[in-house]
């Protein structure tokens, strides 16, 4: 057996072994791993369960305070190997980019705007032409896509955002200087919704939000500046925020908390920061806390070693439920390095992966298919344009070994949603919007619109819509130059819908 084979077996064993409970394990950089690429801080990280890697985007340059980057990197936490991905196009670089979101249904990473150009070294024209409320990244094809949802809302950096597993949408709140309140982005329709609940928490820069799947609420705590000791929960179905008033709240003053839900143990793991002193003389301490939504209690965990101290906007938590681990990207300043740590709260069984459903429509009904299960299961159906407003009811009991159901009791023009009584992604009779729409202007003044055909076999055609975009005068350009992107020629907006 050669050394490379032996090393591979050792690393495989590390990946499969259960680490000790209530212990932070540093994975990289170590003497036995590759050196840290030193990408700076204020970037965002998510766990990609499909490829089992950390996906990292954006942030300041290596020095930590200059150019705002748009690089995509992956890291295998069990080998410590970082890899730079180089797609053909990328969104504008950002800093203060924490709390973008990974979509497990479509295996896409959603990038929302943050600070661009405000204090970095960037080309102004790039931002004017490429800034958009949502970009998506597909690691499998190494492709960025500018999704351009319309209408759109101004999004702020250092927002709170989390993926709603039940409704399969993104919930966003706050951000530095934001007055938008609570927003929802639905990737299936590429559309935004402003929720306007009766009561909302005060706006904030920083803090974190995560989705508690057991209780079907988004849990939010902390902020970068000021002090909010409240633990908030947002119920999307009820469009309701409430102060949970738990016992044993963590330190909250300028705590710059980061949170992630541990699906195996049904608790929220958090890291909060305590700081003494200011600026270069500041000394930081990190503390690990756990919020149990069932008992409505916070508890400080006091592991033998906390992750290395780091300042504001230098930490991102990620959940890997299939591994029963919480991962942390930490970026201390002395030395400046990209650290990956992991934490295991309890020896709990990882949740079963969701079953993936597909639906095909015909004039007389719809056929739902999935990989057959070893146990009987209920098939549920609901209807509605907004996924969080859908009320599901059982329409069939499916025998073990079966993975198909033909539904004929449907109303024309109604959007139907299907899922199983066991963990599953939902399927909709509403097709996804086409991707990679390209508008080309020809020399004769005509426009050509092209796009990749939908892989969904029941899409029979597309609707192409056109809208003229008003162009500002030269005088208006001069007045607005410092605040808005100049338009150099009349523009036409084109929307293609399945």
The CATH code of the domain that includes 418 is 2.60.40.10
Instruction: Determine, yes or no, domain membership for 160.
Output: yes
Domain count, the chain: 3
Q: Is there a contact between 460 and 479 (Cβ–Cβ < 8 Å)?
A: no
Tell me, what's the pLDDT at 474? 54
How many whole angstroms separate alpha carbon 403 and alpha carbon 224?
49
pLDDT at 360: 94
Neighbours of 87 (CB within 10 A): 16
Residue in the block written with tokens 């050792």: 10
Q: Examine residue 11 and state whether it is found in any structural domain, yes or no.
A: no
The answer to whether the CB of 169 falls within 8 A of the CB of 186 is yes
Cα separation, 400 vs 317, in Å, equals 38
Q: Among 173, 174, 222, 253, which residue's Cα sits nearest to residue 231?
A: 222
Q: What is the pLDDT of residue 475?
A: 59
Residues 396 and 451 in one domain: no
Return the DSSP state at 112: -
- Burial tier of 245 (Cβ tally within 10 Å: 0-12, 13-18, 19+): exposed
Residues 219 and 315 both lie in one domain: yes
Q: What is the pLDDT of residue 460?
A: 83
Note the pLDDT of residue 453.
84
Query: Looking at the structure, do residues 310 and 271 belong to the same domain, yes or no?
Result: yes
Alpha carbon distance 176, 157 (integer Å): 6
Residues 174 and 319 in one domain: yes
- pLDDT tens digits, one per residue of 442-482: 899 888 999 888 888 788 888 888 877 665 555 554 454 44
Domain limit, last residue, from 368, 396, 428: 428
CA angle centred on 87, ends 85 and 91, rounded to 5°: 105
Tell me, yes or no, whether 372 and 453 share the same domain: no
| CB-CB contact of 74 with 139 (8 Å) | yes
Does residue 348 belong to any structural domain of this protein? no
- Judging by beta carbons within 10 Å of its beta carbon (0-12, 13-18, 19+), is residue 281 exposed, middle or buried? exposed
Do both 376 and 401 map to the same domain?
yes
- Provide the residue range defining the domain that includes 472: 438-497
Stated length of the chain: 498
In a domain, 12, yes or no: no
Is 277 in the same domain as 377?
A: no
Q: In sequence order, what are the residues at sequence separation of 6 or more whose Cβ sits closer than 8 angstroms to the Cβ of residue 377?
A: 397, 398, 420, 421, 422
Q: Do residues 457 and 407 share a domain? A: no
Q: What is the pLDDT of residues 312-330, one digit of tens each?
A: 999 999 999 999 999 999 9
The confidence score (pLDDT) of residue 483 equals: 42
Question: For 152-180, how does the pLDDT look when each residue is reduced to its tens digit (9 = 90+)?
Answer: 888 889 999 999 999 999 999 999 988 88
Query: Per-block average pLDDT, block size 10, for the chain (498 residues)?
Result: 38 60 96 87 94 94 73 96 95 91 97 85 80 95 93 89 98 90 96 95 93 98 94 98 96 96 98 88 93 98 96 95 97 88 96 95 92 96 97 96 94 95 96 87 90 83 78 50 38 45
Contact of 211 with 164, CB cutoff 8 Å = yes
Q: Report whether 292 contacts 299 (CB < 8 A).
A: yes
CATH number, position 311: 2.120.10.80
| Whether 398 and 319 share a structural domain | no
Does some domain include residue 134?
Answer: yes
- Tell whether 97 and 138 lie within a shared domain: yes
Residue 4 has a pLDDT of 37
**Given this model, what pLDDT does residue 11 score?**
41
Give all strands of the β-sheet with 108-111 in edge-to-edge order. 101-103, 108-111, 135-138, 143-146
Residue 14 counted as domain residue: no
Task: Indicate if 239 and 187 belong to the same structural domain.
Answer: yes
Count of C-beta atoms within a 10 Å radius of residue 232? 20
- Token readout for 62 is 């290596």
480 in the same domain as 417: no
In a domain, 9, yes or no: no
Domain boundary among 401, 428, 455: 428
Indicate the residue among 276, 310, 343 that finishes a domain: 343
5 within a domain of the structure (yes/no): no
């Amino acid at each position: 057996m050669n050394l490379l084979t032996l090393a591979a077996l050792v690393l495989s064993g590390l990946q499969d072994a259960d680490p000790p409970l209530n212990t932070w394990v540093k994975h990289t950089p170590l003497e036995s791993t590759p050196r840290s690429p030193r990408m700076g801080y204020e970037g965002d990280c998510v766990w990609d369960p499909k490829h089992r890697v950390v996906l990292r985007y954006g942030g300041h340059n290596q020095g930590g305070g200059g150019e705002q980057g748009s690089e995509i990197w992956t890291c295998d936490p069990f080998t410590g190997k970082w890899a730079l991905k180089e797609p053909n196009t990328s969104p504008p670089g950002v800093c203060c980019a924490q709390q973008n979101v990974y979509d497990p249904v479509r295996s896409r990473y959603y990038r929302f705007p943050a600070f661009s150009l405000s204090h970095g070294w960037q080309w102004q024209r790039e931002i004017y032409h490429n800034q958009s409320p949502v970009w998506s990244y597909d690691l499998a094809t190494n492709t960025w896509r500018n999704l351009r949802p319309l209408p759109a809302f101004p999004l702020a950096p250092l927002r709170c955002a989390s993926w709603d597993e039940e409704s399969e949408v993104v919930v966003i709140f706050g951000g530095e200087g934001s007055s938008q309140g609570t927003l929802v982005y639905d990737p299936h329709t590429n559309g935004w919704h402003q929720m306007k609940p009766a009561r909302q928490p005060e706006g904030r820069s920083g803090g974190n939000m995560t989705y508690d799947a057991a209780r079907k609420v988004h849990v939010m705590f902390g902020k970068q500046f000021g002090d909010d000791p409240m633990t908030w929960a947002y119920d999307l179905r009820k469009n309701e925020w409430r102060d949970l008033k738990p016992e044993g709240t963590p330190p909250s003053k300028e705590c710059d908390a980061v949170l992630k839900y541990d699906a195996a143990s049904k608790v929220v793991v958090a890291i909060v920061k305590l700081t003494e002193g200011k600026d270069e003389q500041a000394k930081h301490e990190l503390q690990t806390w756990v919020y149990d939504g069932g008992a409505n209690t916070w508890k400080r965990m006091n592991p033998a070693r906390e992750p290395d101290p780091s300042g504001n906007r230098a930490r991102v938590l990620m959940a890997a439920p299939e591994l029963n681990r919480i991962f942390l990207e930490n970026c201390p300043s002395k030395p400046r390095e990209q650290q990956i740590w992991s934490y295991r709260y309890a020896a709990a069984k990882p949740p079963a992966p969701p079953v993936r459903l597909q639906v095909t429509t015909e004039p007389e009904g719809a056929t739902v298919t999935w990989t057959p299960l070893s146990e009987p299961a209920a098939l549920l159906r609901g209807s509605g344009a907004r996924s969080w407003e859908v009320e599901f009811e059982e329409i069939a009991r499916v025998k073990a070994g079966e993975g198909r159901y033909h539904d004929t009791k449907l109303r024309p023009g109604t959007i139907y949603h299907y899922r199983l009584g066991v963990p599953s992604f939902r399927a909709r009779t509403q097709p996804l919007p086409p991707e990679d729409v390209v508008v080309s202007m020809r020399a004769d003044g005509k426009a050509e619109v092209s796009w990749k055909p939908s892989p969904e076999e029941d899409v029979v055609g597309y609707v192409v819509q056109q809208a003229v975009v008003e162009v500002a005068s030269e005088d208006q350009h001069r007045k607005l130059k410092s605040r808005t992107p100049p338009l150099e020629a009349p523009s036409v907006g084109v929307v293609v819908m399945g």
